[in-house]
Amino acid sequence: QVQLVESGGGSVQAGGSLTLSCRFSGYPYMDTCMGWFRQAPGLEREGVAIINSDASGGMTDYAGSVKGRFTISRDKAGNSLLLQMNSLKVEDTAVYFCAAPERRTYCSRGGWGPRNFGYWGQGTQVTVSS
């Protein structure tokens, strides 16, 4: 059974930092594109960042609203996905989800979205206050 479990969310003041982690279990394709998404109340789920496998070049891509502030990476053991979030803004407040595709997938720059991912974590709340 595939499980994705996020951790690291919490409350922080604007300008602060948080690091989210997503641990995978039972997932057979660690060498694939993986991503982070978020959903704020009343809004649709939006993409935050993706990272392709090291074997395919490890390309990362970010939503314009987080570029330069967030960094997606994999831990050295290769079984967790990380999201380092710096200079947090009030508008970053949302539930953050990690996601993985149902088969090995390459995410092209600007060409990925929720439709590319079939496995999702339960989400972790990030609240940024002014």
CA distance 24 to 88: 26
CA distance 37 to 107: 14
What pLDDT score does 76 carry?
81
Query: Region 7-25: what's the mean pLDDT?
Result: 97
What pLDDT score does 79 carry?
85
CA distance 102 to 29: 8
Q: Quote the percentage of the chain above a pLDDT of 70.
A: 100
SS3 56: helix
Tens digits of residue pLDDT in 43-62: 999 999 999 998 888 999 99
Q: How confident is the model at residue 77 (pLDDT cuts 50, 70, 90)?
A: confident
